[in-house]
Amino acid sequence: MASNEELAKQIGDYCESLGKDPIDTKDMNNAEMAETVKELKAEAKESEAEEKAAIEAVEAEEAKKAEKKPPYYVAPGKSITCKKGILAEGDEIKAAFLGGGKDSLTALVKSKHVIKS
């Protein structure tokens, strides 16, 4: 078993990492301190798992947004100047953004500057 000094240090470290107030270990015996370390360790592990799950959820949501493509979008490596301004690769483009309307949009699709979803 670890010494009281080592256990007190571990308790302090876990409290700090979890953002908790420090636990007073003066009146605790070795077994109580060991149990406290065990509980704090489990709480830290649970907190870490929740944080990891939240990060994965955010990443999945971002990937889902990236998958949704507009009906017409600028091809990779291309940019288009239109009424709306300069559109970069992946930006949505509509016939209303172009001076020639639908005919211009069709021509851009044929020239592979615009991709139709």
Q: Which residues pair with 10 in a beta bridge?
A: none
The CA distance from 61 to 48, in Å, is: 20
Cβ neighbors of 12 (< 8 A, separation 6 or more) are 22, 23
State pLDDT tens for residues 23-33.
Answer: 888 888 888 88
Give this prediction's pTM.
Answer: 0.48
Rg, the chain, Cα only: 29
- Residue with the two structure tokens 């990937």: 63
Question: Model confidence at 69, in pLDDT bands (50, 70, 90)?
Answer: confident
Token couple for 6: 């080592």
